[in-house]
Amino acid sequence: MRPVMTDLTRSPTRAGALSAARALPIVCAFLLGVFVIGGTGFAQMAAAHNAAHDHRHSIGFPCH
């Protein structure tokens, strides 16, 4: 990612576009993480709870 940073400092006009181009995929990846954790840690469906039961207890999620 360093080359990107050099571009950023070199060209302020491109900087805005670049940082917006960086922010979108980063936010998408973050939201994907939230979704994944919601499934393993917080979904209240019985089957999801039972499958992930020991995991939830071990990580300190509120379980049942």
Partner 1 sequence: MTLFRTIVLLAALVGFGAGVVLTVVQQFGTQPLIVKAEVFEQARSEASAPKPHDHEPSGAHDHLAASAADVAAAEAHEHGGGDEWAPADGAERFLWTLAANVVSGVGFALLLVAASELKGGLTSWREGLFWGLAGFAVFTLAPSIGLPPEAPGVEGAPLMDRQVWWIGTAVATAAGLALLAYGRSALAALGAIVLIAAPHVIGAPQATEAPAIPRDLEHDFVVAVTVTGFVFWAAIGVLAGALRGRFAAA
Amino acid present at 33: G
Contact footprint for partner 1 (CB under 8 A): 1-2, 5, 21-23, 25-30, 32-37, 39-42, 44-47, 49-64
Nearer to partner 1, 14 or 22 (CB): 22
| In the complex, least distance from residue 22 CB atom to partner 1, rounded to whole angstroms | 6
| In the complex, least distance from residue 10 CB atom to partner 1, rounded to whole angstroms | 16
CA distances from 62 to 6, 9, 19, 45, 53 (A): 45, 45, 37, 14, 10
